[in-house]
């Protein structure tokens, strides 16, 4: 496995534009319209640069990037919000705005550059996040994990999906399995990790599909069905994720 140089954006603020561009590249178009991300994601690059990670190859080119936010957590399962990704972004920002010292780091995303997909970048990003968290005096790394094969099984409840096993007894899902092999354990499902709404026309643009009547639809890339109400001119997607804990 290739080893990459780890830097934070506090050390290399010149990489912010490249990291931001790479971070939006792998997701289905509808995933780029979460209102919490639209309003607050920039704060990661403005306020929390020391927790944003870039992996550089031997030529100094961007091989991968990881976003994370510090927040306060009391250590209990119950204090990991059911609203997952959206809630942890808001908590981290509210903690900072109110001068509350964080004690935990939450991963936000990990993305490999196209030429380095499948070459261990994601594992190195997780390890780098743990290293940064420890260096900053935080007690743990958590993550609202988006299982990367769940979109193939959108009708299966996440609670069932996380029980599926790989042939070696590890989690069936590759991204859950990567976290587990790095020492993480599943804490709970966060069933409303991200909520994305849009007009019917917006969803048709995002998905290149038609939605001629109200009801639920299977959307490529979505982890669960999307519900459409034509009378309200609205499509609504609620994404489930999985809280995982990396203890130090």
Residue-wise DSSP of the chain: ----EEEETTT-GGGHHHHHHHHTSSS-GGGGG-HHHHHHTHHHHHT-GGG-EEEE-TTS-EEEEEEEEEE---SSGGGS-TTHHHHHHHHHHHHHHTTPPP-EEEEEEEEE-GGGTTTTHHHHHHHHHHHHHHHTT-SEEEEEE--TTGGG-TTS-HHHHTT-B-TTSSBSSHHHHHHHHTT-EEEEEEEEEEEEEE-HHHHHHHHT----SSEEE--TT-SS-EEEETTTTEEEEEEEEEEEEEE-
Q: What percent of the chain has pLDDT over 90?
A: 94
Spatial contact of 52 and 9, defined as CB atoms under 8 Å apart: yes
Residue 24 confidence (pLDDT): 76
* Cα 23 to Cα 111: distance, rounded to the nearest angstrom: 6
Q: Please give the CATH architecture assigned to the domain spanning 5-146+173-186.
A: 3-Layer(aba) Sandwich (3.40)
Summarised one tens digit per residue, pLDDT across range 155-202 is 999 999 999 999 899 999 999 999 999 999 999 999 999 999 999 999
Q: Which pTM does this prediction carry?
A: 0.95
Read off the pLDDT of residues 133-146 as tens digits, 9 standing for 90 and up.
Answer: 999 999 999 999 99
- pLDDT (0 to 100) of residue 1: 61
Query: How far apart are alpha carbons 34 and 221 in whole angstroms?
Result: 15
């Amino acid at each position: 496995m290739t080893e990459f140089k780890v830097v934070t954006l506090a050390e290399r603020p010149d990489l912010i534009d490249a990291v931001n561009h790479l971070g939006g590249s792998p997701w289905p178009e509808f995933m780029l319209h979460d209102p919490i991300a639209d309003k607050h994601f920039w704060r990661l690059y403005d306020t929390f640069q020391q927790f944003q990670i870039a992996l550089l190859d031997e030529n100094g080119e961007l091989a991968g990037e990881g976003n994370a936010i510090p927040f306060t957590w009391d250590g209990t399962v119950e204090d990991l919000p059911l609203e997952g990704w959206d809630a942890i972004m808001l908590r981290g920002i509210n903690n900072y705005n109110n001068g509350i010292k964080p004690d935990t780091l939450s991963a936000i995303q990990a993305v490999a550059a196209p030429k380095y997909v499948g070459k261990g970048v994601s594992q190195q990003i997780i390890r780098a996040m743990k290293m940064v968290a420890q260096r900053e005096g935080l007690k743990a790394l958590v993550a609202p994990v988006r299982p990367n094969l769940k979109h193939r099984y959108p009708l299966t409840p996440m609670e069932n999906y996380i029980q599926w096993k790989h042939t070696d007894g590890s989690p069936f899902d590759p991204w859950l399995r990567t976290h587990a092999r790095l020492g993480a354990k599943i804490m709970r499902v966060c069933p409303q990790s991200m909520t994305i709404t849009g007009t019917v026309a917006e969803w048709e643009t995002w998905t290149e599909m038609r939605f001629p009547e109200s009801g639920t639809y299977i959307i490529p890339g979505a982890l669960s069905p999307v519900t459409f109400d034509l009378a309200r001119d609205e499509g609504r997607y609620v994404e489930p994720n999985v809280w995982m804990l990396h203890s130090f």
